[in-house]
Amino acid sequence: MNEGLTPELLTLDRLFHDPGAVYVVPIYQRNYAWQGDQIEILLQDIKDALDDGKKNYFLGNLVVTRRLETPARFEVIDGQQRLTTLYLLLSVLAKRDLITNDHVGCLQYESRPRATQALHRVAMEPPQPSTTSSSEDAGILEAYNVISQFIETLRDDAARRQYADFMRGNVTVVRAGLPPKTDFNRYFEIMNTRGQQLQQADIVKAQLMEHLASESERACFAWIWDACSDMDSYVQMVLTRGNTTLRNAVFGSDWSFLTCRRFQDLVDHYHQTGFSEAAEIPTSTSLSLKDAIRKYATANVRADEDDQENERFRSIIEFPVFLLHVLRVVNEDTEEHDGQLDDKNLIKRFNAALKSQRDNKNQWVQNFAVKLLRCKNLFDSFVIKRQYTATTHSDEGDWSLLKLTKDGTEARPKPGYRNPFGRAAATTENGAPAGTLLMLQSMLRVTYTSPRAMHWISLLLKTLDNSRSHELTEAALTAHLQHYARSKVKEVFFRQGNSASDTEPTGFAIHRIVFTYLDYLYWVERRTQNELTDFRFSFRNSIEHFYPQNPDQQQTGSRVTENWLHQLGNLALVSVGVNSKFSNSPPLAKAINFSDSIVQQSPKLQEMADITRRNNRWGDDEVEKHHQAVLQRLRNDIGLD
């Protein structure tokens, strides 16, 4: 018997149609836990590969061990979240008759009958919300609904079939088989403690450093790069960890914003303060590309007491994607193109940027280092983060928009986190309620869940980089992002400008930005009128028919006909869990029994519920009036009328 690892590169078709094979998720594995944004990123990655004309798309590794049984049973050691998601994707496609359903039963959860039954139900029956659902099957049902709605958004049946064919025949994974007697405790220990593999960002870093003239410059570049790569921390704290003298020199006496604009100034500060010796970075030997990768790519920074609070924040993007945003700022790239923010193309895009410089590479790398540091400083101060505190509303954290500033005393200074626009006021300069920038950014964040689609961050960074400090007002930045959001709504909904309503998209073809931007407008209106609301933007990916598509048989009273059922006036965006909770209940029952959930989910939905309670009905007349009202609201805001 071969006791080594046995890797096989398999298409998804082969993975799920290995004759008689069953994948078993053992009891020691956690429940299925992927959220909507994680699922959508995987689905969108497959679609992007298809749209880009790629022949194959590699999804990663599935680690299994084959049990000594016949037919083959593979115990899933690593990769069960992705495997379950792919299984559910097959189930959705089979329900649409895009593929056969002969994958059914080849994935099971050991000693978890509810989870296994849920997998079978979504594959073989119309999934129905269960009043007795547990975490084992609720997550599976939610994932199924997220995938279903994603497939609905594809252009037409031909596009869906093309997606299904590509997914089965061109998406691949490596099924790596461990020997049957593997010590899994030892395996997980090795996996959790092994050094991280060299990433594209590490290679880009070394390639850029190769064009610097001296070890002094390379050491300074590595210092900047490593500090910026910690996306969850404010760069002031990481760059000058434990050295307030250097912090004052680089970020000013209040620690808020970068004061150095030249790379040589940063080199001088870095060495004059003695920080380079403290950081244990050599200053005498010129390094080759190979040495740079070895010595600098995995440099660690030491923990320090004065930034423990800094650890409560989480960035909304990863460092490789941030690098691509900075590259767009450096290149003054104002147009959106496919693949601009695809971190799989990181090396390719930086190679192209360097190639364009010809004999000016040294200066370009120096300028990029300064721009990287400046953009990270601006990103930390003016782009939302997730914040985790004792009063955090949920496991996902609260949205946060704070800048770092010096607090404490002169003798014992410490970081503080404050509103970047000074003391909070009731309204901004244009009369909108304070907090609009945070709400607008969180709206865009939950709308464009894939990092590849977050072009609004590049726009904001370019605006910030080109602005003077007195121009960085909440009203000005909000105006820039709102203009962007309006252009997106116009692009996906009002394609013909002042076209008749019958040319507008309906149902699942309505892009998420239309719903989220309407929620933003309703929120602004309610806050302007001093109406308190608990609404916060969260990841919602289920289109709710307020009057249900399949109403309960006993439902009486007003009805919504097919003409209005799928129009924007009868729809709102909610979480999959709330959509399941609403089920096929009549609108009045939803408005009365779920008022708290409605307020938290969607201001547009709250408006629909208010109308229903006032009129004691929700029929064609109410849908039409609300539909025309939201169309007029969008037209007025976008400037189509």
| Listed residue (178, 168, 165, 169) closest to 62, CA to CA | 178
pLDDT category at 265 given cuts 50, 70, 90 is very high
pLDDT category at 110 given cuts 50, 70, 90 is confident
pLDDT digit string, tens, across residues 28-63: 888 898 888 889 889 988 998 898 888 999 998 898
Q: Among 2-16, 327-341, 385-399, which is the least confidently predicted range?
A: 385-399
pLDDT digit string, tens, across residues 594-619: 988 898 899 999 999 999 999 999 99
DSSP 521-542: HHHHHHHHTT-----------E
pLDDT category at 495 given cuts 50, 70, 90 is confident
Output the 3-class SS for 610-631.
HHHHHHCCCCHHHHHHHHHHHH
Distance CA 128, CA 553 (A): 15
Distance CA 333, CA 325 (A): 10
pLDDT of amino acid 339: 79
- State how far the alpha carbon of 618 is from the alpha carbons of 570, 572, 594, in Å: 9, 14, 16
DSSP 497: S
CA angle (434, 440, 443) in 5-degree steps: 135
Distance CA 386, CA 390 (A): 13
Whether this prediction's pTM lies above 0.75 is answered by: yes
CA dihedral (340, 341, 345, 351) in degrees, to 10, reads 60
pLDDT category at 1 given cuts 50, 70, 90 is very low
Q: What is the mean pLDDT of residues 410-417?
A: 91
pLDDT of amino acid 277: 56
Distance CA 315, CA 327 (A): 19
| Mean pLDDT value across the chain | 84
Parallel, antiparallel, or unpaired: how do β-strands 73-78 and 22-25 relate?
A: parallel
Q: What share of the chain is helix, strand, coil (3-state, %, to 5)?
A: 55, 10, 35
pLDDT category at 500 given cuts 50, 70, 90 is very low
More confident residue, 525 or 275: 525
- Tell me if the bond preceding 451 is cis, omega within 30° of 0: no
pLDDT of amino acid 434: 65
pLDDT of amino acid 455: 96
Q: Are the CB atoms for 623 and 569 separated by under 8 Å?
A: yes
pLDDT digit string, tens, across residues 112-169: 888 888 888 888 875 555 444 445 577 888 889 889 888 988 878 899 999 999 999 9
pLDDT of amino acid 428: 52
Q: Are the CB atoms for 465 and 371 separated by under 8 Å?
A: yes
The domain limits of the chain are 6-193, 507-638
Distance CA 47, CA 163 (A): 7
Q: Are the CB atoms for 422 and 463 separated by under 8 Å?
A: no
Distance CA 184, CA 367 (A): 48
| Listed residue (427, 472, 447) closest to 537, CA to CA | 447
Residue 527 has pLDDT above 70, yes or no: yes
Helix (H, G, I), strand (E, B) or coil at 74: strand
- State how far the alpha carbon of 274 is from the alpha carbons of 76, 92, 236, in Å: 51, 61, 17
pLDDT digit string, tens, across residues 96-107: 889 988 888 899
pLDDT digit string, tens, across residues 504-515: 899 988 999 999
